[in-house]
Each structure stands twice: as structure tokens, then as C-alpha cells.
Chains A and B, each alone.
Chain A
């Protein structure tokens, strides 16, 4: 099968899966088996594309024309490959986790939960494979719409409010800022097709380039650069598997992925480095990193703390990309993968604690490590990755990031990296310390580990975080290809 056909099939599989899941309503075992098989098949298809891309191939297909010059177009390049691999692999793990979580917490409406999850993954692959801005935008909106019912899953007033904020901020920013930017590119450059080196270099003046970059950076609300971040903490009202895969991996990574992709393939890294029109982005992202970390420090609710940590870590990716050198692009791409594994582990742990002990606040976690050693052990590894300490994947991306900042003489970026590392340590280390070393308060509920599927999932992602540190070859070589490094 050709690469192009595999791409289309990989996007179609979760759609078919969604249909089958819907048809399996009322038969939980069958429904969840379908989910797992769908996830596995999708990952298999995505993985089968790796050799071609590694060899320099760029499978492409253009199945449909909407308007003259506005095509549905898919081109697989290294960054999209990396994103698709991460998202589709973690969907398998997340599905295992979901089964444990949704059953143990007796969540209602589980069928629609799995259906929308599958639709969201199809949209995620569409974003990863998009060959032009229009296609990217199409699937970007599809992802927002398909995850909205997941955010409002609980149907409480709080969930509805969060859903409103989710839709308004994400669709609002994408329509008001992202869409005009696309129209502008299409009008000025005559195309929206991604091309190495960018398509607006030499077409727009430096001033215009700066504005264009601003429209993209803030229009892509999923990247959660402040002040567009408010939807993310609000979305934590969703069931934990949603927070874990969608709001730590698929949705938010779709945001930073889009920004990196646009930096590389639309605006052009060399172009930006030359005209200096995007230097402000370092400051916007850097400020977000620090401010979000400070807010995280003050959160007692574990999921909210993780959410602000996500906001901060996402801006790491943007910060790295905004240094505009090849090495910094490598760092940005690596951090997309590294943060995904680390953060999903942390969310899995949070959901596991909620399921086993019904605890949601950081201050309740004293001594919990002895009751839930696997969960808290995995949590510790995730936390190390966030801080950027070996042997966790976060170390590698941070290493490249700091190296790029140093080489480019970006003292501000360097200062942000150092300061935020300290802040990360300040809000993660006390949790791990309390969990393992503080005595458990008397009179608490008697509980053990969470159900085994959840434990399996979080151990797997924690192991992935460590493996990514030990064997970073695959993501690293994809990232180097992206940046045009040998």
C-alpha cells in the first residue's frame, strides 16, 4: 500500500471505529474491544509510514478541491510523523486506562465518550498529516468540536460553563485570528501549501511578517499562550482520561505542533531569523512559562496544578521554536514528544488517585505513596521529566533548548529555562516528598492501588518516559530532518 493510501486509511480507521463503537452501545466489552482494536490498527498504520519518512520520502495526496486553490491536501513530513506517532501510540495506552477509569468510577454515557474520543483522534491525525493551512484549519476545528462533548461529559453546571469557555476561546480565537491569517497568506502568497523554507518569505515586509506570526501564535488558542490559556484549566472538569490524552497530548500538542509547523513551513525559520520580526514571541512564550508556573505553585487541586504546568510546558515548545535556529526547532519537536509522555503519566496518576482514594487535592496526598507505590512511582518519573532531570525524556529536550538559547545568545530564554526549572521543582517535588516521606494522617480511607488496567497504563507511559531518554534516536532523527540538520 502506498504511503498516501496508508495516511487516508489511518484517518478513516478511527471514523469507522466510532461507528462500530456507537453500534456496540449497551455491550461494554464489545465496545471497549472495538476501541482497543481501532487504536492498535491506527497505530500500526501510522508506524508503517515511519521507514518511508525516515528515508526522506514525503507521501502526499490531494483527494479533493474545495475552492480553486483551496485543496484538501495531506503531506507527511517529519514533524507530522512524530506527532502522529505520539498521539496514536498514547491512544492505545489511554484506552486501556479509560476502561479501568470509566468502569471504576461508573461514569455515565460511556459509549458517547468512546465515540467522541475516536473522532478526536481522527481529527488529530488530520492535523498531523495536513499539507496546507486550509486542511490544518479544517481538522483543527473538527478537533475542537469533537472534544467539546467530552469536556461537558459530566453535564453539571460547572462542566457546561467550562464547555462554553472551551468553545468560545478555541473557536473564537481560531475564527477571529487564525482564519484571517490563512486568508492573508493565501492572498499574499497565492497558496497555503506548506513548503520547506516558508511561503511568505520575500512576499511580506518584516512588519507584516511580525503581525502574521502574531495572528497565528494567538489565533491557535490550543497552544495556550497567555492570555489564550483560560480554556485549559477550565477543561479539567472532564473525566481524567480526557485530560490525559486530549488536554495533555492531542489537543494542546495540536496547538504547538501547528505553531512549529507554521514557523517552519509557512513563515520560514531563516526568514524569521533574518528579518527579526518574531523576536517578541520569545517574550510572550517566556512570560507564559513563568507566570503559568507561578500560578501552578498556588493550586491545591492536583489536576489544576497539572493544567497550569501544561500551559507552562506548551510555551516551552513555542519558546524553543521562537529562537529560530535549526537546533531550537529540534528542541521544540523533541519537547512535543517528551512532554506528552511525561504529562500523560502525571494525569494518569491523578486519575488513579481519584479512583482509588477519591482525593483531588495536593494537600491530601501525605503518605499515599505507600498505599499506591506504582502510581506514585510513575508520578515521580513524570515529575522528573517536567523538571528536566535524567533519566527522563524532558532532560533531552531541555538540553537542546538550553543549547540553542546559549548558541543564539538568547539570554532571556536561558533565564526563563533556568527559572522555570526551579519553579517546576518547587511544585512537583513537594508532592513526591509528601507522598512517600510524610506520615499518612489517621482516619483516612483504606485503599490500595487503582484497578489494574490503570496501573498498567501509567507504568507503560512512565517506562516510555525513561525509554525516550535512553533511546531518543527515532524522535531525534525526525526532529533533525525537520530542522534540515544532517
Chain B
């Protein structure tokens, strides 16, 4: 009985939990409540994924209104996978949040943090679960508005500027998205994604559809921070509270990427935007620009959080590159990297947040010699860094394997070489951190620095462990990603 309502529960539980959380007066109570809610989410998400893997696509009618008139939650392998990622990251970061936030913000604000976090979680899960294009917009607004608050809660006033910038850009992105959906609605008279997919071929070569596609693409590209629309991201990630950065970096952009996949492949059908129009060349060029330019910027960045943020822009480039390759291997690489990058970047941001817990600001100079004082933190950073480079035995290798394979399949040797060559850039910027932390002498001012508390270290290491585990056992990640890719491409 309850199993059939899982898709609704996935979204409704955090939504209803948020106002309750706001009514709790003490940060510790709010934290406990948010943790309980966050921990039920992956249970539901995994149950949904198992249902999908077993019985195929789930279609859930909200209020039993029949689609396309009512709102439908439609979950196939691709979005079930995204639900697992988002909810799992949410569950892992919650134990970490307690100690980290107590250090970073006054007690009266913590309740608001947890409330906004629950709303953000609602929005992200809703965006992934729903099968209605307008409903996506509603959840997008919920997620965005709450994430502006999350970022603005950062420890210094630069967070306000960063949040404001993100607010402007995010609003433009959401507006473009809804304009795009409007055009499609005008042409087809429907907002249901599955229904859109059926009706669009009848009108597909008409100008309003082009315009709609253009608005959608640009709007979502702003949200997922595709180069050169990424400029909001480094500031937002650098100044948000550490735990918010880890959560958003691992989930928010990933959900936007999922929507891009959904529109490109399910709604328009892969052959249309990626084969018939001139998008692929531009798309691949922008992805490569993201990979190369953002990585180079990361190399010269002294603030470690900003460095990791630029690295995120570069890694998103790998994901979009796989989309542009428009093949099963490429899309598998894309989806698996979406998951893998969520793990690695989540782990790295949690670890850096743990360094910030002791040091305040985290710059390359500040962490000199710190490995001796925080051996576990930096051991995790080394493993996360190896994963960024794509060393075999880590998740990064699996992603890169599929992307290179997709390029080789196409016979695009130059692209294969560029993909691998750009990992050397990751070696340089992660290597800088490792070298500073392990091999440079520690300044006298770092004498009081010590390892973050266990409640933070354990979640960070759970993600670090996942980076290695899923690099060796790809049964869950790569196989599910391949199935999702086949589902999106419509191949058996």
C-alpha cells in the first residue's frame, strides 16, 4: 500500500517537515528533526530505484488526477538514480552539519538553516521526481529560493553578495526555463513531459519550438553552470557555510543536469537537438572550454574552496561533454560522472569544511604542513584528489573510461586526448594542495590546529570511502547509469 505512494512521500515528507522545523526553537532540536527526515529520504529513494529496476517506469498520479490534466510523477532509471544521489548526499551531510554550523553561525540562525535545507531538499527531489514541466518550475523556485538563503547564511558578509549574485542569475535561469516551457505549451497545449514528447514531433520544425528550446537550454545551462554561464558558482560555493557548499555542489547542479538530459533526450528526442540542429558542436566546444579554462583557473586560485568550485565547473564540463557525444557510452559516462562527481566533490568540500572548522579561511598557504596535524583529513583529501585525476581504483577513472570510450567510438581522437590531457590539470591543482599540506613546513601560527570532530570526520570519510568503493564495484553506478542512458536514448 505505502509502496505505491513512495514517489509522493519522497517530496511531501521534507516539504511538511520544513514548517515543523521552523517552529522548533533550538538548533539542536531542528538538527535532530532534519536528520531524521534526511535519513528517511534515501530509504525511500532506494526503494523507488529498486521498484523501477524491477518493474519499469513508475507513473504516480497526484490526487489521482489522470495525466496530462493532473500532475504526474514519472520516475524511470535516470531520475530514480538522481533521487538516490541527492537524498544520500543529504543524509550523509546532516550529522556533519551540527558541529560545523555551531562553529560558523549563531544559534538563533541554525533553525533557519535546517528549515531552508529541508525546503531545498524538497525542491531538488521534486525537480527530479516530477513528470510535469511546470511543476519542475515550481520546485526549481523552492530549491533556488531556499538555496539563496543557505548561501547568505555564510560566515562573512561576502556571502551576502554571492547570494545576491546567485539570486539574480538563478532567477534569470528559472525565468528562461519557464518562458521555454511556455513556448512549448503554446505549440502543444500540454505540460506533461511524456505528453510533450509525443506531441512535439508534429510541430517540431516550427520557429516557436526552436525559441522554446533555446530558452530552455540557456535557462538550464545557467542553473547547471555550463561555461560561460558559471560565473555565479565560485562565489556562491566559496562563501556559503561549508556544509551547504558540500550539499549544493553535490546535488543542485546535478539535478539541473538531469533536467537537461530529460529535455534533450525524452522531450525533444536525442536526434533533434543533438543531431539535426547545430547544438552539438557548440555544446562540445563549451564543455571543453569549461574543462580547460576552469581547470586552469583552479590552478591559479589560492582560496581552496574557490579552487574546488572552479574544479566543479570543469567537472560539469565532463558531464555535458558526455551529453554532447550523444551515444550510449557517452551518456553512461555523463550519468555515472554526475553521480561520481557528486561523491568526490561532496567529500572534498566536507574535508575542506573540516579544515575551515579549525583554521577559518582555507588557502593554499594556510594549509602548509597541516597534514601532520590533521592526518585523516588530508588522507581523505589525497584520495579525493586521486579520484579527481582519474586514478584507476577510484570513481574518477570509471567516468573517464566511459567518456574516452565514447570519443574513441566516434573516432574523435583529438577529443579522447583532450579528455585525458585535462585530467593532468586536475593533477596540478590537487597536487598543489597535497604538496603544501605534506611537504611544506608548518608556520608557527598553525600550532593550535587539530582534526575536525568525529561527527564531521565520519561523514566526510563515508564519501571518501564511497569514492573508492564505487571505483572498484561499479555494479550499482555504471550499470544503472547504462540502463538510464538506454532509457533516455530509447534503445533496448
Contacts and interface: CB of A to CB of B under 8 A. Distances in A.
Interface string B439-472: 1110000000000000000000000000000011
11 contacts: A137-B392, A155-B439, A160-B435, A160-B440, A163-B439, A168-B428, A168-B431, A172-B427, A179-B400, A180-B417, A184-B408
B80 interface: no
A284 B178 CA distance: 60
Nearest to A72: B472
Given A145-B391, A180-B408, A168 B424 contact: yes
Interface string A181-202: 0011011000000000000000
A180 B414 CA distance: 11
Contacts of A167: 427, 431
Interface residues on A, range: 20 to 34
Contact of B398 (A67, A137, A149, A176): A67
B261 interface: no
B424 A70 contact: no
A134 B435 CA distance: 28
Interface in A269-306: none
Nearest to B419: A180
A141 interface: yes
A159 B408 CA distance: 38
A152 B436 CA distance: 12
Q: Which of B391, B427, B440, B473 has the most CB of A within 10 A?
A: B391
Main secondary structure of the interface of B (DSSP, over half): helix
Given A160-B439, A176-B421, A171 B474 contact: no
B409 interface: yes
B373 to A, nearest CB: 16
A175 interface: yes
A183 B415 CA distance: 13
A184 B440 CA distance: 40
B427 A176 contact: no
A442 interface: no
Contacts of A160: 435, 439-440
B379 interface: no
A164 B435 contact: yes
A167 B428 CA distance: 9
B386 interface: yes
Interface in B219-237: none
A138 B393 CA distance: 7
Given A167-B427, A180-B420, A183-B405, 8 more contacts: A66-B398, A142-B393, A155-B439, A163-B435, A163-B439, A168-B427, A175-B421, A179-B400
B389 A183 contact: no
B334 to A, nearest CB: 16
Contacts of A172: 424, 427
Interface in A181-225: 183-184, 186-187
Nearest to B390: A175
A64 B405 contact: no
Contacts of B471: 66
B438 interface: yes
A179 B390 CA distance: 10
Contacts of B389: 171, 175
A171 B420 CA distance: 11
- What 9 A-B pairs have minimum CB-CB distances, sorted nearest first? A138-B392, A172-B424, A183-B404, A176-B421, A175-B420, A176-B420, A180-B416, A141-B391, A187-B408
B478 interface: yes
B272 interface: no
A478 to B, nearest CB: 28
B144 interface: no
A175 B392 CA distance: 10
Contacts of B416: 180, 183
Given A149-B438, A163-B439, A167-B427, A67 B401 contact: yes
Contacts of A179: 400, 404, 420
A67 B392 contact: no
B423 interface: yes
Interface in B95-153: none
Interface string A155-169: 100011001100110
Nearest to A139: B392
Contacts of B439: 152, 155, 159-160, 163
A183 B398 CA distance: 12
Interface string A296-331: 000000000000000000000000000000000000
Contacts of A176: 417, 420-421, 424
A66 B472 contact: yes
Contacts of A145: 386, 391
Contacts of B404: 179-180, 183
B46 to A, nearest CB: 22
